Amino acid sequence: MRRCANPGAGRRQLLRWSLAASASAALGACGFELRRTPPMPFARIALVGFAPRSPLAAELRQALSAQAQVVDTAAQADVVLQALSDTREKVVVASTSASQVREVQLRMQVRFRIQTGGGRELAPLAELMLVRDLSTNESQALAKQHEEAQMLRDMQADIVQQIMRRLAAVTV
């Protein structure tokens, strides 16, 4: 007859499973729910003022297309999202005595307004600015490039979600 090397392993596994089940039941009972994109109070929207191949406009168009029709002109739209500026900056904030960059700051800023197709203002001029710090290292240059690209994608996704929430809050 073989003996188990660790007789308490089965009990620990059962305990972990029961703790996980009770935690998920408690979250469900308190009304916890993952954040969803809020419903939009309009049927058609136009995105104007963005650069021709703006990655922010492309991601906004994709996020909005699930809930509203994205049209080309303001005359066709119920709501117009007008971008006044869309800037991205990379600023050196720390360097060594040998002028090697040690830390940079990534900045993304968007200024926009929300209007009706006729030009009536639905939301005042808004500005969103995100700033992230990134350390650099010349020996890991490729990895740091990938990290910077991922940070920029995350910042852009955050801005898109903030704009979506503001669009959902307007009353047409």
Give tens-digit pLDDT for 15-30.
Answer: 778 777 777 766 666 7
Beta pairing class for 101-116 and 79-95 = antiparallel
Please state the rounded mean pLDDT for residues 79-84: 95
For 161, the token pair is 């979600």
For 11, the token pair is 């009990």
Closest CA to 87 of 74, 68, 65, 106: 106
User: CB of 143 within 8 A of CB of 133?
Assistant: no
| Separation of alpha carbons 29 and 27, rounded Å | 5
Give tens-digit pLDDT for 101-151.
Answer: 889 999 999 999 999 988 899 998 999 999 999 998 888 888 889 999 999
**Domains, in order of start, for the chain:** 35-169 (3.30.160.150)
Is the pLDDT at 171 greater than 90? The verdict is no
The reported pLDDT for the residue numbered 56 is 95
Is the pLDDT at 9 greater than 90? The verdict is no
- Has this prediction a pTM greater than 0.85? no
